[in-house]
Chains A and B, each alone.
Chain A
Amino acid sequence: MKAEILARLQAAQAAKKPVALLTRLTDGVQILWPQDEAPAPLAEAARTALRDDAAQNLEYEGAAWFVHPHNPALRLIIVGAVHIAQALVPMAQPLGFAVTVVDPRRAWATADRFPGITLIHEWTDDAMAELAPDSRTAVVTLTHDPKLDDPALDVALKSDAFYIGALGSRRTHAKRVERLTELGHGAEALGRIKSPVGLDIGAVTAAEIALSIIAEVVAVRRGAALGSRVRAAVSA
């Protein structure tokens, strides 16, 4: 790889722009798409690779090409700078998530408690609108306080977030569903909320709950049956 291509690849990543690196395996010739132009079949493979976040192999003009997608980092938005959030942050980062913690309570959301993490102290609906969750974003609410959790969930439900989880018991969630229904969300939308949040691993401590949450986020992201199967069995 030429240093110049690596520099442009890193610049694209820093700017959170999706790019695909196309390599001709016979001689190492490379194209960084879409910055560089690519012949139509290669551009199409690049588009598919980025959409599916999965590498592609193809033959073009008698040579094998490798198409390597580089999508912007996955994002995890945690609402509530609570103890579980402190445990969740260092688990999510090595899994590839850029983490943001939202909590207007400045006593909780401090740099001491969350070193090096983006902290947002605005009210949760404003913060969420600004963060604009997309299909590569997971949202987890942990405050237990409807004043903080509900506005965040309201925005999350209107977004393409691939995962929405809310801490709270079944009873708490039933009341939450009633409130969100009044805000105009239908049953199908509300069904997107994972609550009780996390895989059922019998979690007790903050770290165990964080593990169950991040495991469920990964399961949903990877399309594993695990999350839904466990939940279905529990609710049956």
Chain B
Amino acid sequence: MSDVSDDILATAAAWRAAGEDVALATVVQTWGSSPRPPGSRLALTASGKLAGSVSGGCIEGAVADAAKQTMASGTPQLLDFGITDERAWEVGLACGGKVKVFVEKLA
């Protein structure tokens, strides 16, 4: 877990050093058949750059929307995706798992 996510932090740091607004999304809890384990990270910029992942691609879009809010407000968010969550169907967590994702601004 310490391995590949290091590159994502380095990428995030480099983006910020280049003057971009950067948010970090981290999987903090999973249930069932979630594709990415806790600790998995996705770094995003306001300009639309992405590095890493928090799912197999199913929730990245929704996480990016939340990240934009967090980059604007500075307030972190704890997102909950799962089969009991109507939003999850919208964004299509088709694997049937549940996942909690923490989104924070790199300030």
| Chain A residues within 8 Å of B, Cβ to Cβ | 1-3, 6-7, 9-10, 13, 23, 25-28, 53-55, 57, 64, 66, 68-74, 94-97
Contact = CB atoms under 8 A, between A and B. Distances in A.
A7 B12 CA distance: 11
Interface of B: 1-4, 6, 9-10, 12-13, 16, 24, 26, 28-29, 37-39, 76, 78, 102, 104-107
Contact of A94 (B4, B76, B102, B104): B4
A2 B24 CA distance: 11
B89 to A, nearest CB: 24
Q: Is the interface of B mostly helix, strand, loop or mixed?
A: mixed
A55 B41 CA distance: 13
Contact of B28 (A10, A66, A72, A96): A66
Contact of B29 (A9, A57, A74): A57
Contacts of B105: 1
A28 B12 CA distance: 17
A82 B88 CA distance: 50
Contacts of A74: 3
Given A3-B107, A10-B10, A66-B29, 14 more contacts: A1-B105, A3-B16, A23-B104, A25-B76, A28-B104, A64-B78, A66-B38, A66-B102, A68-B1, A68-B38, A72-B2, A73-B2, A74-B3, A96-B3
Contacts of B29: 57, 66
A1 B5 CA distance: 15
